[in-house]
Structure 1
Amino acid sequence: MSDTIFGTREQLRDTASGFFQQYGLAFVMVASVVGAGSIFVASSVGIQYGYTLIWGFVAAALIGVMAQDMSARLGIFGEPLGTFMRRKFGERVSLALGAVLSVGAILWTIELTAATAKGVSVLLGGAVGWQPLAVAVTVLAVLTGVLNYEGLERVMTAMLFVLLAAYLLVAGTSSPSALGIAGGFVPSLPGGSLTLVASVVGSTAIWSNFFLESNLVAEKGWTSAEDVPTMRKDLAMGYGIAVVLILSVLVVSAAVLRPAGYEELRSFITPGRALGSTMGQWATVLFLFGASAAAFNSIMPVMWAVVYLFQNARGVAVDSANRSFKLIYAVGTASGLLAPLVNVVFGLSVVEMVVLFAAYSGIVSLPITAVLLFWAVNDEEVMGDRTNGLGLNALNAVLVVLAFVLAAISLPGFLQSFGEILL
């Protein structure tokens, strides 16, 4: 019997190792997609519009795949995006531009730390406030992120599958309308939904991933044209899981909270609390656990991207196993310790951080990065004969246009909210 169990374990280990030798990079990428922001957006969409905007999440995932495909091809046939910046602008300008972009990552890390801590605090029944828990979350994020690439990839993949199981269980028992879900795949724009659709796209096309994937293809050993099909299968799997996970949140909100009379969310954890009265405490626990884990899982790839960006801009060879890499990551991730201070000094709640801080990335970082990426994959000096063709340029131009449209839609609300903070 023990030999059989041992043999089964060996087979599972070998199967997992074989999988990660070929795939897994996209799971690191989509970890930043499935965060507190996407859960809040999906919950809001489900409550306000039911199933009608499902198509928007599918379209956003396709845009995300397209952007990641550009980034991966840049890394395979050319050079990392940060290195491209250095080639075109020189070290000083590249570092300055990197600093502008990284403000978004720092703000993102602060709000993700706060969101994780808030979820854990609620799970503990408020016995410990989220502010002291933010310190523990930051320490754990630092320790997890200093793993080398292979270790981080496996940890984050495991967490994504745990999240998927949790949300599918809650969604499956919420008695959703199969007809309503099917109808949601037909594009439509209900009145007043444009801003939310913009948020859907903005929480899926993550700028930091453009820098990260162009570096990590080398860590994965994807270095030639023969690796492109594998890369694209990996993207399809990763974003497929992300879409199913996020749509599970939407389905729960549409099937349970909307009929219960909820019209808006005060927090990304509100759906979890609300599920307790309609489905039982188990649903609350699973939803809140998922929300906290999703927020935590997003911290590592965001800050890894910053390290790669600055090392590339400095012209330094990047190795995730190096002490300097881990030190820069640890210092950047330690910005999560500022979350309680932001709460005290500026009076911002966790949900206000989730909404406001993520907006900076969408308004500033995403447009800049989208233009850089589009420029890079069309640069013959970098890509040789692997530059975009007319068809790919037509598709990829959609990302650039959307980035600026999203920024234009989001800017007025961001400035108003920022002004209220200053006043």
Structure 2
Amino acid sequence: MVASYFGSGSIYIASQAGVEYGYALIWAVIGAVLLGFMAQDMSARLGIFGDTLMGFIRKKIGKGPALTIALFLSLGCIAWTVALTAAVGMSVEILTGEALAWQPVALVAGVAAILTGVLKYDRVEKFVTAMMFVLLVLYIVVAGASGPSPVEVAQGFVPSLPDQGAMLLGAAILGTTALWPNFFLESILVKKKGWTTKEDLSDVRHDLSFGYIVGGIITVCIIVVSAAVLRPAGYTELTSFITPGQALAEVLGEWAMVVFLLGVIGAAFNSIVPIMWTIPYMILEAVDAPEKEQDSKSFKLIYAGGILLGMSSPIVSAVTGLSIVQMITLFPAFNGVFGLPLTAAFLFWAVNDKKTMGEHVNGWKSNLINVVLVIFATYVAISSGRGVLEAIFGGMMG
């Protein structure tokens, strides 16, 4: 689930932060990791002591409304997958010197995700964890080669907001880290991991800490590389999909370009499976289907059907006129505007519901974190919702 938050969107948002503000927003990554950890911890406690998040929603508002919410949120997961398959495709196109066009590669990425996602949970977890370690090694190597200033890096851990744009980028970092599908998944998968009692909470938190630390280090490394290489080279924005790779190649050599693109492929593909697992889990929980498990036929069919829609990135690009970079950044933003506030509000309700949680309802410290998440999500939705929709659909209407 931690792997799902670190996708191609995270790479480009972190790269933009380093290009525009140097090391100044490293602290925002630390804050985002802490908030994401706390939100998933609450989701895990809901799953252990109460119910799954969608199960709670169904019981409170009924099957029909719960299914409507599940289907609406599923659109966001499909949009994410459209962007992720496009990112894999374009990276392979560039790596092969355009010998392979990105469109068919995007379709192959979708098929590969279907085949990976129907494996048994333990195998998927091992695969995703291994991919995260590959990403960690790749970006630590590039960050070390970029020769950053240790003093300036250390200053980045001190909270500061140079201007309004920095605040928006900080919000974008938070939005890509506190990923709403994880709130549903964590409440379901705790039982997959065998975590069912209060004594298991230490294992839950160890698991989350380990994953978020790895993801946080990778994000910080990307900001460091961008600040140390792209910013001094005169880059002020990421104008195309390949801009970060080109800049790295100019300063560090072609190997850095290859590493960057391999990182994009790994991060994008790694995100597809857990994000798209969310759809069948939500839908089957919403209707209280007798078979809700990952190895059931219903689960596999819904999962495969969702990815088949998500493989439509070539069609979406042609119809909307959106570039790959625009899809990578706008579709996660769409989820931040619509999926995050809705999910954060239901999570807040669930962990404070005495009937569901019993004596394990949220304390004031956890509620403070959850209130921050709900307020942030609402702020992002109000302030950027219209702009995101116009950016996505403007090409079709123009």
Q: Fold conserved (TM > 0.5)?
A: yes
Give the corresponding residue for 1:35.
7
Retained in 2: the 8 A contact 1:198–1:409? no
State the secondary structure of the residue aligned to 2:191. helix
**Greater CA drift, 319-328 or 130-139:** 319-328
**Greater CA drift, 350-359 or 78-87:** 350-359
Unaligned 5+ residue runs, structure 1?
A: 1-28
State the secondary structure of the residue aligned to 1:351. helix
Q: Distance in 1 between matches of 2:362 and 2:62?
A: 24
Q: How does 1:214-233 map to 2 (within 5 A)?
A: 214-233=187-206
State the secondary structure of the residue aligned to 1:388. coil
Give the corresponding residue for 2:239.
266
| TM value normalised by structure 1 | 0.91
Q: How does 1:162-241 map to 2 (within 5 A)?
A: 162-191=134-163, 192-241=165-214
**Greater CA drift, 190-199 or 404-413:** 404-413
Retained in 2: the 8 A contact 1:43–1:271? yes
Give the corresponding residue for 1:390.
364
Q: Does 1:365 align with 2:328?
A: no
Q: Distance in 2 between matches of 1:156 and 1:145?
A: 11
Q: How does 1:22-171 map to 2 (within 5 A)?
A: 29-171=1-143
**Greater CA drift, 389-398 or 112-121:** 389-398
Q: Does 1:415 align with 2:389?
A: yes
Q: Deviations over 1:183-239 (max 9, x none)?
A: 000000011312111111111110000001100000000000000011111111110
Q: Deviations over 1:74-104 (max 9, x none)?
A: 0010110010111011111110111111111
Retained in 2: the 8 A contact 1:195–1:409? no
Q: Distance in 2 between matches of 1:263 and 1:178?
A: 22
**Greater CA drift, 31-40 or 413-422:** 413-422
Q: Distance in 1 between matches of 2:234 and 2:261?
A: 21
Q: Distance in 1 between matches of 2:179 and 2:240?
A: 22
Q: Does 1:401 align with 2:375?
A: yes
State the secondary structure of the residue aligned to 1:238. helix
User: Percent of counterpart pairs with the same letter?
Assistant: 51
1:310 corresponds, among 283, 287, 296, to 283
Q: Could you tell me how far 1:335 is from its partner in structure 2?
A: 1.5
* AA aligned opposite 1:72: A
Q: Deviations over 1:91-147 (max 9, x none)?
A: 111101111111111111111111111111111111111011111111111111111
Q: Distance in 1 between matches of 2:281 and 2:179?
A: 15
Q: Distance in 1 between matches of 2:363 and 2:166?
A: 34
Unaligned 5+ residue runs, structure 2?
A: none
1:374 corresponds, among 337, 343, 348, to 348
Q: Could you tell me how far 1:381 is from its partner in structure 2?
A: 1.3
State the secondary structure of the residue aligned to 1:260. coil
* AA aligned opposite 1:334: L
Q: Distance in 2 between matches of 1:296 and 1:267?
A: 20
Retained in 2: the 8 A contact 1:101–1:365? yes
* AA aligned opposite 2:237: E
Q: Does 1:245 align with 2:215?
A: no
The number of aligned residues is: 395
CA RMSD of aligned residues (A): 1.1
Q: Could you tell me how far 1:269 is from its partner in structure 2?
A: 3.6
